[in-house]
Structure 1
């Protein structure tokens, strides 16, 4: 290559890079996210910042449990903590049962009001060994607790007063818990469950902790099942904080595949980007279990500065519970230096459920071996050594993994850390353990994945910048800046709630985990709201959301004439585990989405492959969909109810979708029959649901209303089954029912579902009306006091969630973009 050509190529690259950088500034997302995505690989490896500043709190798993990730930049000997908080090392005053056995007096009959006081007589109470729980449901429980409520009094003795010391109560509870120290309430969870929740005691309670006898008392109310209760008391070790000085965060900017931070660290500027190259057209990239922490350090004064980067992770990343035994390792391979951790037990696919972290496979951090030093061991020791410029000596005693890089900067310096997870086996599918998609042929290794990620970094970063700009600009055009902000935040959240594998029959499986709900895998009524994102970017992934349900029925494992709800509890996909069926809901979802796939692909071959079961489901809807009997819909938190007008809409739209699929396949007689039937049912619906200036929640109750979000598919897919005035009548009525933070789901409660608001808004005829529905949702996310990955189930009259977090259904936010794409075809 001649010199002039080299110069030209460099110039082109710089212009492109600077152009994208300028676009990033122009497209800055000003949303103060409820939580900021950092590492987003799958439901197991999903880490977030729950605070405004990256250094205000520990990095956390989507469940809220700490996934410690500590970042420090030392500049000319001064350390600036820019990421995470140091894990405070505690000394036990009264250990929890998971660390050491303890016993206490307890009763399941409500005692007198002073039961928590030190001088209360518990002479008539029983004595039991902790933890307390329903032993048939919780094997770890030592004392069987079958009644709804339990009161526990735990005496402990001190050798000295604790006044002036930081003291914490730590407890695991299912469900509601209240904890007292010497009669003073120190924790009250309200209606909630939690594992290893830690609360710092107020000074008034600490003052009572004196030499001699003290009482730690706890109350727990098990509302449904699986009761469990354990609690203990702890104080901080001395001198356990090595990096008290934080950097100054200047900005944070969430885009679809990246989260960008800027910090001042004394005389230098630090830019940090968390990059997940989740480009949905490339399934190998979607599956590659490696993310980047990229950084740039710039001198602010033009002088040369000696800089040291310290990045520390914890064994928590590979454990369900932080006290599980783990292994630590460090090695070099393929030009990269690695630190690695995993559980000692390695029970592959050994746990299923919702509020769990993975404890099989291995977590890795890696970086260029020529520039990086590694260490493992005790966090306090490693941090002290780094702070004092001493050698970082490794040991197998401790729970921390460390990478450090040293360099000088007078202008600018850039590098990266790679973080990833090898789960070895990802999913059990009807009895067979499946490798992750990236190793579907068993011809790869985690090192090969890291090496590819390392070599392709520059290319992938440019691709991510380009993708982020394109997504932002498209969302801006169709829905405005607030809509663009929400879709940018939703992108990684939705993707990270899935796992990509290949079935033994070569089906692509894009399996969701029903996060923060019940942990179901491949849930159809989670697929339905999630689908717009995958229909828009890659219909093969949309098929991956449906394939397991088709297989479940076609293999005769599922024998009912309607679609199943799920195929198990994550990560075990061995058959439905949800307790109740949703026959109209799930059948309608499957048929509608199959037609949406056909429209995106401009052919119905996928429907042809599954025609027999689609026909069975559609005929079920013809028979049962006009006026659904008492059953659940996707909004199952609202409970069972009959005559659901919106559920009837779904059935009718699905019947029409089946008719249009038949038309695409040349089955004209079938098409005419089912489209005519859908129109007939829609005419009946209009009469049954009419209630003056709007349409009812249920056919049998006047004076009620609900969002008819299922109508959006009649509009988007251009089927025109329902009279067009129905949608506009509803939209105008909804505008009179909005609260500060959004449109309620229906007249019964003030809560709503944000994904359904997006669908309802998309039925509006113009962007201004669309934005009237979107702005309150944006304001909720910007102002909510619940710091966690976006909730889709929120209250509309106050900035708190009703439930749910980190769920895939925010993929439904992309329905407005999908509408434009389908209409352009």
Structure 2
């Protein structure tokens, strides 16, 4: 089977219109997908600069960050004076009245002793309370100004209003941890139980809104901390005046995707519009993959044989450069002497690498909307409403602009006046982001790989993106065609469509940097999980994609874990779980260890790298720590104690049969590595140890027509997805009949939308299903398990970037989204590469029909 080196990430946020006539072939996908995506990837740069359409119609909703927060992109085609909105929706943002601590550390009075009387009333005397600034909470919380570590805190924020808000919608924005109550001018607005929430936006009831008068007002809150972290922050905002200029929606006639591109077509009156989003994530070109520039290409053509006057409008807002609404930003337009122009925006505060965690977005660095300087293209930065009104009225916008109004979202807009259009006329734009510094690695701030330690600027990257547009578009098409061929040959049409869907999601959940010695560091982020950075049990399921197309990137996902132990920072006899909370890689922050899980993962993947490369040089560099981890597995791996595995959402449990398989194969992998290094004595010792453990495993796990979930509980079962490495690594440690026995049983217990993870629940992990489906050499078995996963992706009512954790009964997401673990979908391609006799080509070919 022919396989190619691929591509990787190159995105961030900027539009750049170039020469109006391009090859029409760029607008015809190399393959059509029949799968309705849960969400369609638009901009794919990294975990921060990530834009999606959560709906089937690109103009049915705002475009969004993978977390679901608005990341507005607006697209309008003006044809003979009539505007057709083809992308996004006009959504008037909120204007800050009282900032939260994320914007300004506001002042208040507070006490940690229960006050007497009606502490929430305007007339209450709080003169004896202490004064402090928000936010209030425990030391690990964000935007903290006043430490609060007792059980309770009462906070009163007195403020003067210079405007009457009683006649317009007013919104409360608040964050709390845990039990929380809040009053405005003595009227209760919030009362919660034991929950903790961030950035809640709540419209005030009429009576509360009516109480907000010009002059003195009071917001009073009480928070009770039950356990763990504590936090209080709140503010007010109002909705800007409603204004809509683009109510007429274009008719979307088609949408499809390939690994690096998403294609749309629209009917805009008598003109057709083709739109292509391209993320050049080519893994054989790390500069291109990590360059934070994506393309938005467009082509228009008359459908009635007549010429029409056409202008195209593209807009992004400053929300792309903020974590939460209300953060103060500055925006401007720059004309470069090299012929480049762009609108750029960023926060005034610029808290470089300070905003960390899961449900957050970047608020340092700058977003760009760029174009090559030419007569037909105009770029402007302005307030939110002005450019829309201008374009709707005149078909153009004011060039340039410089705006630093902190109370509203800014608009960055581009207009391409395509003129009189009859035949196909095309152009493109770019979206980009310069994060200045990308990752903090053991207190050393590191730039993204593409910057080469500051030698390459964003201006140079954008100019290069312009110069290479045609070649990059062609390379993306060639790669898309090759990856689709690889996956289709390996597993059939449905399998190929699933792999094409997740490709950009996988890579854009990482960030590529180098350490000070030039070693690659390819950091994953645990999206919609806990925000960990460089998690080993995220690397493990992601690995198949990178083992197929560029093992150097897999090394980049492991180098920091080796360094963590070898430097002495991590002193335990097993591998760490992570190296911090994204983007701060300063040491493990996860609350519990996964000793067998992570050690087994590192050993198995190191062995896989050696076999892919044909040598064990990488293992030899880390031999001492690999030896330590192997000896730990020999001691503790056969019958694991009560500890977590990668499926930690299911909780701690002991005697985990699938985890035991991982430990045994990790030990056997070490033996294989020793053999490749010419140390036969060590190889024989550990391979024999693994063989003996595998025999004991079979005795302990057997349960009639299947094998147990845990050794001590008959009548249970689980997916034994770890067993796939016994075949792929050529270890042959376990009896082959284990896989065939398990597969026969799995086909009797799977549900409409997939095979459950185990006998405890009906939910599943689709990445593990893809591994389990490869356990036997039969294409029929593979198809039987993959078809329900395809059905899940096609029918899930949870419209988010693909969730790897879903219910097999109704296809709803249980949790997680936009994670890199779906790199595990490429296990069938890896199997064909490392174990080419796994399933015959004729069966695969039949499955594609």
In the alignment, which of 372, 383, 392 is matched to residue 398 of structure 2? 392
Q: CA contact under 8 A between 2:397 and 2:415: conserved in structure 1? A: no
Out of 585, 598, 602, which is 1:573 matched to? 585
**More deviation in 743-752 or 586-595?**
743-752
Q: Which residue of 1 aligns with 2:713?
A: 701
Superposition pairs of residues 550-699 of structure 1, within 5 angstroms: 550-699=562-711
TM-score by length of 1: 0.87
Matched, 1:407 2:421: no
1:267 corresponds to which of 260, 265, 270: 270
Greater shift, 599-608 or 86-95, is seen at 86-95
Query: Which of 733, 741, 744 is 1:729 aligned to?
Result: 741
State the secondary structure of the residue aligned to 2:797: coil
| Conservation of the 8 A alpha-carbon contact between 1:267 and 1:300 | yes
Deviation sequence 1:19-41 (CA, Å, 0-9, x none):
887663xx312222222111111
Other structure's SS at 2:456 match: coil
Match of 2:757 among 725, 745, 758: 745
In 2, Cα distance between equivalents of 1:802 and 1:648: 26
* 1:41 lines up with 2:55 in the alignment: no
Task: Report the 3-state secondary structure (helix = DSSP H, G, I; strand = E; otherwise coil) of the residue aligned with 2:370.
Answer: strand
Q: How far apart are the structure 1 equivalents of 2:813 and 2:179?
A: 17
Q: Which secondary structure state, in structure 2, belongs to the residue aligned with residue 460 of structure 1?
A: helix
Superposed, 1:113-152 pairs within 5 Å as 134-138=137-141, 140=144, 147=151
> How far apart, in 2, do the equivalents of 1:187 and 1:469 lie?
54
The answer as to whether partners of 2:26 and 2:473 remain within 8 angstroms in 1 is no
User: What is the 5 A alignment of 1:294-305?
Assistant: 294-305=297-308
- Aligned to 1:762, the other structure's residue is in SS state coil
Shift of 1:220: 8.4
2:826 aligned with 1:814: yes
Question: 2:280 maps to which residue?
Answer: 277
- 2:107–2:157 CA contact under 8 A, matched in 1: no
In structure 2, do the counterparts of structure 1 residues 442 and 133 end up closer, same or farther at CA, with 3 Å as the change threshold?
closer
Cα distance change on mapping 1:792 and 1:680 into 2, 3 Å: same
Q: Distance in 2 between matches of 1:612 and 1:106?
A: 55
1:257 to 2:260 alignment: yes
* Shift in Å, 1:767: 2.2
Quick check: 2:29–2:263 contact (8 Å CA) kept in 1? no
> Partners in 1 of 2:790 and 2:537 — Cα distance?
24
> Partner of 1:60: helix, strand, or coil?
coil
In the other structure, the counterpart of 2:324 is 321
2:771 is paired with a residue of what secondary structure? helix
User: Alpha carbons of 1:171 and 1:555: their partners in 2 closer, same or farther (altered >3 Å)?
Assistant: closer
Distance 1:236 1:325, change over 3 A: closer
Q: Residue 350 of structure 2 aligns with which residue?
A: 346
Task: Mark the CA change 1:338 to 1:57 in structure 2 (over 3 Å): closer, same or farther.
Answer: same
CA distance in 2 between partners of 1:752 and 1:185 (Å): 42
Moved more, 536-545 or 340-349: 340-349
**Secondary structure in 2 matching 1:61:** coil
Check 1:264–1:656 CA distance in 2 against 1; reply closer, same or farther (3 A cut): same
Is contact 2:156–2:218 with CA below 8 Å preserved after alignment? no
Other structure's SS at 1:351 match: coil
SS at match of 2:403: coil
Q: Aligned equivalents of 2:133 and 2:55: distance in 1? A: 34
Alignment of 1:49-68 (within 5 A): 49-68=53-72
Displacement after TM superposition at 1:805 (Å): 1.3
Moved more, 623-632 or 658-667: 658-667
| C-alpha distance 234-577 of structure 1, shift in aligned 2 (>3 A) | closer
Judging changes above 3 Å, is the alpha-carbon distance between structure 1 residues 664 and 188 closer, same or farther for their aligned structure 2 residues? farther
| Pair 327,708 (structure 1): closer, same or farther in 2 beyond 3 Å | same
| CA-to-aligned-CA distance 1:561-599 (integer Å, 9 cap, x gap) | 211111222222222222221111111101100111111
**1:4 matched to which residue of 2?**
none
- Give the CA RMSD over aligned residues: 3.8
Cα distance in 1 for partners of 2:707, 2:675 equals 31
Aligned to 1:418: 430
Shift of 1:226: 3.1
| C-alpha distance after superposition, 1:446-465 (max 9, x if no partner) | 11111111111111111111
Contact map agreement 1:133 1:146 (CA 8 A) in 2: no
Tell me the distance in 2 between the aligned counterparts of 1:689 and 1:150: 56
Alignment partners' CA distance in 2, 1:108 and 1:248: 61
Bigger mean CA offset, 455-464 vs 82-91: 82-91
Alignment of 1:378 onto 2:383: yes
| 3-state SS of 1:407 partner | strand
State the Cα deviation string for residues 609-634 of structure 1 (Å, max 9, x = none).
Answer: 22222122111111111111121111
Deviations 1:485-517 (A, max 9, x none): 221121111101111111222221111112222
Partners of 1:662 and 1:668 within 8 A in 2: yes
Bigger shift: residues 527-536 or 229-238:
229-238
CA distance in 1, matches of 2:234, 2:463: 45
Q: Is 1:286 matched with 2:289? A: yes
Matched, 1:774 2:781: no
Match runs of 1:188-267 below 5 Å: 195-198=198-201, 225-228=228-231, 236-267=239-270
Aligned partners of 1:360 and 1:153: how far apart in 2?
Answer: 29
The structure-2 alpha-carbon separation of the partners of 1:220 and 1:307, relative to structure 1 and needing over 3 Å to count, comes to: farther
**Greater relative CO (CA pairs within 8 A, separation 6+):** 2
Post-superposition CA distance 1:619-670 (Å, at most 9, x none): 1111111111121111112222211111110011111111111222222222
